[in-house]
């Protein structure tokens, strides 16, 4: 179940009475508002979470659903190491056969996967497509956005990026359409800033992993984590210019770049096999008893 963060404060208050009872709560998403807020509601959440982490309680631990946020919270002295259990976010990965780029006809399909919003920097897909208007016109590359488009991103839309919302602002697409279209793509692009998605898992990234589609993204701690775990999973770039350069080479079927596709796809499949629910459960048990 999902509870308002004031419930955590209530649990901590009860822990003063029930000191021997161990309590663990899953903290997901909103804790990032300690660092960044955009509106009044987020500032309220930031205030509550600051209160939460500053309120001591015996036998109380937080469960974080990724492996990149603990170090930051500890370094910034919000929490102590013994207060945190960190696990990879569980996901019902399916059995799929990694795709091979050699089997894909031109144009190579590049997709922005998931909701397209300014908060995720996903609107930059339109700028990236503009940089690659030549290869798109030449039939080497095709850009699509698979997911809803938030109203704040709608002004950035251009005809170089196709979508499946039938022109509706904020329109959602069905899960069936989402799955069908992600299966067809060759690469997925992500534009998260280094401070984004540190304290929450990205369902869009997990969907891409599930379909073993290599990733082209701006450098980010989570993609670096994936790379450290299983090896090359795509291309991590410093900026849009570097992303455009890589994609231009992909459109031209540059052997040096294309030859890495099968390895990248297979490594994503390796992550699926290694980090299934059984592994995560065992990891959790070891940390609880450790």
CA distance 54 to 224: 30
Residue 187 CB-density burial (10 A; 0-12 exposed, 13-18 middle, 19+ buried)? buried
Which pLDDT does position 31 carry in this prediction?
87
Q: Which of 189-193, 237-241, 275-279 has the lowest mean pLDDT?
A: 275-279
What does the pLDDT look like over 8-54, one tens digit per residue?
A: 999 999 998 999 999 999 987 788 889 988 889 989 999 999 999 99
> Would you say the pTM of this structure is higher than 0.85?
yes
Residues in the chain: 290
pLDDT score, position 168 = 63
Q: What mean pLDDT, rounded, does the chain reach?
A: 91
Q: What is the pLDDT of residue 187?
A: 96
Residue with token string 């379909």: 211
Q: Tell whether the model's pLDDT for residue 277 goes beyond 70.
A: yes
Per-residue pLDDT, averaged over 253-276, amounts to 92
CB 14 within 8 A of CB 57: no
For position 173, what pLDDT does the model report? Answer: 86
106 Cβ neighbours under 8 A, 6+ residues apart: 139, 140, 251, 253
Q: CB of 218 within 8 A of CB of 191? A: yes
Tokens of 9: 């404060």
Place of tokens 């006809």: 105
Confidence bin at 169 (pLDDT 50/70/90): low
Quote the tokens at residue 3.
């509870």
């Amino acid at each position: 179940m999902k509870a308002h963060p004031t419930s955590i404060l209530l649990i901590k208050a009860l822990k003063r009475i029930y000191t021997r009872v161990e309590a663990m709560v899953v903290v997901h998403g909103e804790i990032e508002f300690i660092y960044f807020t955009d509106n009044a509601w987020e500032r309220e959440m930031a205030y509550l979470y600051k209160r939460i982490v500053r309120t001591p309680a015996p036998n109380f631990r937080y469960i974080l659903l990724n492996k990149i946020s603990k170090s930051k919270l500890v370094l910034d002295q919000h929490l102590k190491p013994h207060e945190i259990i960190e696990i990879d976010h569980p996901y019902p990965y399916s059995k799929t056969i990694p795709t091979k780029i050699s089997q894909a006809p031109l144009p190579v399909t590049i997709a922005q996967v998931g909701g397209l919003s300014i908060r995720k920097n996903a609107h930059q897909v339109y700028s990236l497509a503009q940089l690659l208007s030549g290869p798109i016109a030449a039939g080497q590359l095709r850009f699509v956005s698979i997911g809803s488009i938030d109203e704040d991103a709608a002004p950035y839309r251009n005809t170089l990026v196709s979508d499946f919302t039938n022109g509706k602002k904020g329109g959602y697409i069905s899960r069936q359409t989402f799955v069908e279209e992600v299966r067809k793509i060759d690469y997925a692009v992500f534009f998260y800033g280094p401070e984004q998605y540190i304290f929450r898992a990205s369902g869009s990234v997990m969907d891409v992993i599930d379909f073993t589609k290599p990733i082209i993204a701006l450098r980010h701690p989570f993609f670096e984590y994936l790379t450290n775990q299983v090896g090359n999973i795509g291309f991590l770039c410093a900026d849009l210019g570097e992303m455009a350069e890589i994609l231009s080479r992909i459109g031209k079927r540059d052997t040096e770049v294309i030859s890495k596709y099968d390895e990248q796809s297979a490594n994503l499949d390796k992550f699926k096999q290694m980090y299934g629910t059984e592994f995560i459960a065992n990891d959790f048990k070891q940390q609880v008893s450790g």
